[in-house]
Structure 1
Amino acid sequence: MRVAIAGAGAVGRSVAQELLDHGHSVLLIDKSPTSIRSDLVPDAQWLLADACEMSTLEEAQLQTCDVAIAATGDDKANLVMSLLAKTEFTVPRTVARVNNPSNEWLYGESWGVDVAVSTPRIMAALVEEAVAVGDLVRLFTFRQSDTNLVELTVPADSAYVGRRLGDITWPAGVHPVVILRQQQSLLPEADRTVEAGDELLFVTPSAAEGELSALLANHRG
């Protein structure tokens, strides 16, 4: 997979190294000469240029990329790069960093953003996930489809403790993804039973979140 990353600061370099470690091809783009630190990520390609310029993205051959990541410290630059990547170069997937939480509402389909990454939102979700039992916690939002990755820790008095996953009728559009149980990651197979304290991860439409939460929080009579 070929990935272009706009922004070669600490965030961009860290993402680049992770992707390289997983065998992907990475191009880092930054307009600041001081950010071009090829010695820190030697296996990446580097381009000293402005990622908001069409000529830069043409030179980068962005149309050959599978993913474009806008990871600069400037929300305006991240939005422009995402929009150009999606509309002018038809990059299949765009990921953009949200720097100012008040700008998060802009990071959607109208600006070509498939996935928006907001550090404050992620941190808040992780805090909620750590302390909430029986409450649905939204971990991630897939902007284009209005679909979310959510987590729910099953309370001990849930009516579904001991039930087979295959016997549970989930709300429309809801799909269990994984069960986290005692430091294990388990596939949601039909014969697997729900246990108290399980952390269940689902992909679900926003409209079905309330129904899903009420379903698993249903107490035994």
Structure 2
Amino acid sequence: MRVAIAGAGAVGRSIARELIGNGHEVLLIDKYASAIRPERVPDAEWLLADCCELSSLEEARLDRCDVVIAATGDDKANLVTSLLAKTEFGVPRTVGRVNHPNNEWLFSEAWGVDVNVSTPRIMSALVEEAVTVGDLVRLFTFRQGNANLVEMTLPPESPYVGKQVGLIPLPDNCALVTILRDGQVYVPDAEQPVEAGDELLFVVPDVGEDELERLLAPANHPAGGAQRPAGQA
């Protein structure tokens, strides 16, 4: 897979190293000469160019890229880069870094962003996931599938403690994908029971979240209304 990363700062370089380590081709692009430091990621290609300029993106041959990651520290630049990548070069997948939470609503398909990554929201979701029991916490949103990855630590008073997975009447289009227990990862099957304290990870559409929460923790949420800090994909 060929990936272009707009922004060769600490974030862009870290992403590049990870992708290269996984066997992908990476092009790092930055408009500041001071940021072009090939010795920091020697296996990447480097280009001094402004990703908000169409001519620069043509030079970068974005039409040959499978993914474009807009990872600069400027939300406006990330939006423009994503829009140009999607509309002018037909890049299959774009990822936009959100620096300011108030701008998150802009990072949508209308601006050519397939996945937005908001660090403050991801961090708040991870905090909620770590400290809550019986609350459904949204960890990630799959934009193209209109579904979310959510987590719940099963409370002791749940009516399904000790019940087999196959006996839990999950909402429509909801799937239990993983059970985390005592530091182990379990792939659930219909006969496996769930236990108090299990961390349950589900993929569920928006409309099924309240129903899922009321099902598993009715004592905590008799009227539904989950709090759902969110990260997005």
- Structure 1 runs of 4+ aligned residues shifted over 6 Å read none
Alignment of 1:179 with 2:179, yes or no, is: yes
CA offset digits 1:78-126 (Å, max 9, x no partner): 0111111122222221111101111011111111111111111011111
TM-score between both structures, scaled by the size of structure 2:
0.90
Question: Residue 105 of structure 2 aligns with which residue?
Answer: 105
Identity level (%)? 68
TM-score between both structures, scaled by the size of structure 1:
0.94
Deviation at 1:64, TM superposition (A): 2.0
Cα distance in 2 between the residues matched to 1:74 and 1:144: 25
Cα distance in 2 between the residues matched to 1:126 and 1:60: 36
Taking the TM superposition and a 5 Å limit, the aligned residue runs for 1:40-189 are 40-189=40-189
Question: Residue 8 of structure 2 aligns with which residue?
Answer: 8
| Residues paired across the two proteins, number | 219
Structure 2 residue matching 1:47: 3-state secondary structure = strand
Cα distance in 2 between the residues matched to 1:58 and 1:181: 50
**Whose relative contact order is higher, 1 or 2, with alpha carbons under 8 Å and at least 6 apart?**
2
Question: Residue 38 of structure 1 aligns with which residue?
Answer: 38
Cα distance in 2 between the residues matched to 1:97 and 1:181: 32
Higher mean displacement: 194-203 or 6-15 = 194-203
The residue type paired with residue 81 of structure 2 is M
Judge conservation of contact 1:109–1:144 (CA < 8 Å) in 2.
Answer: no
Cα distance in 1 between the residues matched to 2:180 and 2:64: 37
Deviation at 1:190, TM superposition (A): 2.2
CA offset digits 1:114-156 (Å, max 9, x no partner): 1111111011111111110000011112234432111111011
Higher mean displacement: 140-149 or 88-97 = 140-149
Deviation at 1:191, TM superposition (A): 2.4
Structure 1 residue matching 2:140: 3-state secondary structure = strand
Cα distance in 1 between the residues matched to 2:134 and 2:141: 20
